[in-house]
Amino acid sequence: MDRQTKIRQVWDSFIYCMSLSWKSSKFYTVMQLLTMICAALAPVLMTCNTKEILDLPGSVHTENAAEQLILRIGMQFLLAMVQLVAAKAGSYAAVMQQSILMHNVELDMARTALEMELEYFDNSRYYDAFEAVKRDIYSVPGAVFNGISVISVGISVCSCAILLGMVSPLYTGMVLAASIPAAFSEHTYTKKIYLWGLEHIREERKMQYLYRTTTERAYAQEIRLYGTGQYLLDKYQRLWDMYFSEKRTVARARALWNLGLSALPESLSAAAMVHIGIKIIHGERTIGDFILYSGLLTQLIAGLGNLVSAVMELYEKKLKLNHFSEFQAMAKEKKKNGTKKLESPVTIEFRNVSFRYPDTEQYVLKDISFCLQQGKKLCMVGENGAGKTTILKLLMRFYEPQEGLILINDIPIGEYDRESLYQAFSCFFQKACNYAFHLQENVRISQIGYDEETAKKRQEEALRKAGADTLLKKLKNGTQTYLSRAYSEDGIELSGGQNQKIALARMFYRDAPVLVLDEPTADLDPQGEHELFHTLAEECRETSILFVSHRLANVFLADEILVMEDGHILARGRHEDLLQDCVLYRRLFHYQADKYRRRGEYENSSNR
Ligand code: ADP
């Protein structure tokens, strides 16, 4: 990249940061700018004033001396006060503005995450980028602050350089020139360290994951039971040691180069002081001049260092901001959407669908074809990993099949507007995931917008259908019970089966013509399981249902059962036919039937 492009980039970053700042708060932007300008000018003016104070004895008549001295010291005090107020007010404005900015970028990030295709969460490459962006957004407020501080440091450097240039253009030019190599080295290492950080984001993620396993509730039981805490910490430590030693190498090189190159202007400044000192000895300069030169030189060198750091930080943060905007654009671009509105799905058809997950070699679905007519029930059974859940994910358009078509009312689902497509479905996913909200909110969140009367009616009905009404009766705060103890003292923790019932209630609450259920009874007790299938059979006659179940004794409600094996449909038909014709189905059924029979015999014998 040539120098002009780099300068242009820094300029662009500056403009970008200033516009972000302006958009987030005009008041705090102006406040920061004013305070920073005052903070930059005050020390320069104070140095000039000090020279005047020192030179007073030789330059004024004795009768005016006291008056002049008081005036100058008064000015010094005033400037010191300006500097103090500017520093305090500036940091107040910076804190306020950073909070607003952080809030804005987090909102932006949340919106971006909501726009992302589901496959982003599966693919480690996308996930790396996602994590990098999540991390980088925290640099946005800093970048804006940098943008503003570049102005103040710039003003300070310019005023010092102009004043110094008026008395000694040679030294000013030499100090300015001597600062260039340090700026180059800073630039090179800024970029190097940023790219190094990007390359190592996966290690960082792995470390964060290990950290989370030791601190989060999900793993707490197992870690204690198996005593794996130290094992996980050691793993974390090994990763950290490798990560840190590499990071240290790059950071050390940066520090050494900067140290060496920053010594150059300092040496020139020392030479200049010697030169002025000699002139003072020869009576050509005053002590006041010495204080003025040394003060301005020190401020110029420090200012140049700060300017280089501020500009480089701006450059680094712009790299991160670029990353953020590229990711936002990518998330939006990826989102495929059709335009057709889906009114009511009469038929859902998979036609010769084959699919492999993005960036994987192996097909997990091969030539899948089936059709679900309105009001019919279709069940998928088969061993783990056969591809049942994947079929549901494709129907929800979380992924696109590589081959074949998925049609609703004979139109490929890709042509439908997603919102209208999703409006047709209500789903229960395998890992029932409730929200740390009130029970009522957990149920109602699947369909926002009902009037209170309808919402109340649907909620009661949904809880009853899901078999959660008995649970509700036991709750002191009823539907206002908070479903987590992590955020509320009188919140509760639900059992696996109870959790599942609330998630099922959420599914029933939404008024959708198609229900999709993935293993809805995995955590339910036998009575809950029986009641749910009974509800689905008796109370959802008009609703099309596509479900996955391992409880073969309950698939009686299905009009058609697909027996899946290794990504393809091995057999299809009704329960009785499959029992006769399909060896796998018969085997799966008998495993369970035997278990139930043995359990029944055991219960009978213990009742006797
Ligand atoms: P089932 O629901 O029948 O148990 P799935 O549809 O969940 O099976 O999985 C089918 C196959 O797809 C499995 O081999 C599984 O490992 C693989 N699979 C599932 N999800 C992903 C994913 N996100 N990325 C890659 N492979 C996946």
**For 537-583, where are the E strands, in sequence order?**
544-548, 560-565, 568-573
Distance CA 152, CA 157 (A): 9
pTM over 0.85: no
* Nearest-atom index, ligand 1, CA of 564: 3
Q: Give the residue with greater pLDDT, 406 vs 600.
A: 406
CB-defined site of ligand 1, < 6 Å: 122, 357, 360, 364, 382, 384-390
Distance CA 36, CA 82 (A): 11
The per-residue pLDDT for range 314-325, each reduced to its tens digit, is: 777 777 777 777
pLDDT score at 334: 59
pLDDT score at 59: 62
Distance CA 244, CA 606 (A): 63
| Residue 426 pLDDT grade (very low, low, confident, very high; cuts 50, 70, 90) | very high
The 3-class SS string of 424-448 reads CEEEECCCCCCCCCEHHHHHHCCCC
Residue of the CA atom closest to atom 26 of ligand 1: 357
pLDDT score at 358: 84
Residue of the CA atom closest to atom 24 of ligand 1: 357
Cα 116 to middle of ligand 1, angstroms:
20
Residue 434: pLDDT over 80 = yes
Q: What is the DSSP letter of 375?
A: T
The per-residue pLDDT for range 26-85, each reduced to its tens digit, is: 999 899 889 988 988 898 899 888 888 887 776 656 667 778 888 889 999 999 999 999
Q: Are 342 and 409 in contact (CB under 8 A)?
A: yes
Distance CA 17, CA 314 (A): 9
Q: Give the residue with greater pLDDT, 226 vs 544.
A: 544
Residue 608: pLDDT over 50 = no
pLDDT score at 58: 65
The two tokens of residue 65 are 């001396």
| Residue 248 pLDDT grade (very low, low, confident, very high; cuts 50, 70, 90) | very high
Distance CA 170, CA 166 (A): 10
Q: Nearest-CA neighbor of 511 among 559, 442, 452, 444?
A: 444
pLDDT score at 304: 85
Cα 84 to middle of ligand 1, angstroms:
63
* Nearest-atom index, ligand 1, CA of 567: 10
Residue of the CA atom closest to atom 23 of ligand 1: 122
Q: How many residues does the chain have?
A: 608
DSSP 348-372: EEEEEEEE--TT-SS-SEEEEEEEE
- Listing from the earlier edge strand, what are the strands of the sheet with 411-412? 365-373, 347-355, 403-408, 411-412
Residue 409: pLDDT over 60 = yes
The per-residue pLDDT for range 12-29, each reduced to its tens digit, is: 777 877 787 888 889 998
Residue 140: pLDDT over 90 = no
The per-residue pLDDT for range 501-522, each reduced to its tens digit, is: 999 999 999 999 999 999 888 8
